[in-house]
């Protein structure tokens, strides 16, 4: 009888320890870190989608706007630079790396904006089915980039918060002491000013 009671007590203690460990937050930090890394992969995927669309867009515009060579060259160069600046998941804690990545992507966004503005001078191009399809895909991709960036920012916020709040801060200071907060995207300089619309 004593054996049964002692085994029952041991089972209750083990179940209690299991519940205590599952609620202690040990798994929270790695889980949130992996979620943030997955969101970063989504961001990179959407930027890659945009980079893949650009050569087709440039080729379509080139046929109509040969005299706009400087704008086309700027887009191609900005795309090349944007695809060269890479940030892998091990560098997500380095704000300078993320800033360089963001700057290269912003330069590409600006070059694309100038290219699309140039197309306004070519009514035939604006009605070209290939151009319209590419422009629509590019607009959709820009929306996907915005969503992916938002999701990444949310995942990083949750991870960084877990590193500083109880009870996960206890694990952050001990078992995960080498883990640093991840860098977030920041607003582009001048983003606080509304764009000027000219008619």
- Euclidean distance between the first and the last CA atom of the chain, given in angstroms as a whole number: 91
Indicate whether 72 belongs to any domain: yes
Tell me the residue range of the domain where 167 lies: 27-173
Residue 66 lies in a domain: yes
Q: What is the DSSP letter of 65?
A: -
Q: In the chain, how many domains are there? A: 1
Does any domain span residue 129?
yes
Helix axes 28-64, 95-118, angle to 10 degrees: 30
**For the domain that residue 60 is a member of, what is the CATH number?**
1.20.1440.20
Segment 38-83, tens digit of pLDDT: 999 999 999 999 999 999 888 888 877 776 788 888 899 999 999 9
Q: Write down the pTM of the prediction.
A: 0.77
Give the containing element (helix H, strand E) for 66.
Answer: none
Q: Is residue 2 part of a domain?
A: no
How far apart CA 81 and CA 75 sit, in angstroms, is 10
Of 18-32, 61-75, 173-187, the range with the lowest mean pLDDT is: 18-32
Residues in the chain: 199
DSSP 79-107: HHHHHH----GGGTT-HHHHHHHHHHHHH
pLDDT at residue 143, as a whole number: 94
CB distance 168 to 29 below 8 Å: yes
Q: Give the 3-state secondary structure of residue 116.
A: helix
Q: Do the beta carbons of residue 50 and residue 144 sit within 8 Å? A: no
């Amino acid at each position: 009888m004593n054996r049964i009671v002692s085994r029952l007590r041991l089972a209750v203690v083990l179940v209690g320890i299991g519940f205590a460990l599952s609620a202690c937050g040990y798994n929270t930090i790695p889980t949130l870190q992996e979620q943030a890394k997955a969101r970063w992969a989504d961001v990179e995927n959407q930027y890659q989608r945009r980079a893949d669309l650009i050569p087709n867009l440039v080729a379509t515009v080139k046929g109509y706007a040969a005299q706009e060579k400087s704008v086309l060259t700027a887009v191609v160069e900005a795309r090349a630079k944007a695809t060269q600046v890479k940030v892998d998941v091990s560098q997500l804690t380095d704000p300078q790396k993320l800033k360089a990545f963001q700057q290269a992507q912003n330069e590409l966004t600006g070059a694309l904006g100038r290219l699309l503005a140039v197309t306004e001078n070519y009514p035939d191009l604006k009605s070209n089915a290939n151009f319209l399809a590419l422009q629509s895909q590019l607009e959709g991709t820009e929306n996907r980039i915005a969503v992916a960036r938002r999701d990444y920012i949310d995942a990083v916020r949750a991870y960084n918060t877990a590193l500083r709040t109880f009870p996960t801060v206890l694990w952050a200071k001990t078992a995960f002491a080498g883990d640093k907060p991840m860098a977030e995207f920041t607003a582009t300089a001048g983003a606080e000013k509304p764009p000027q619309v000219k008619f």
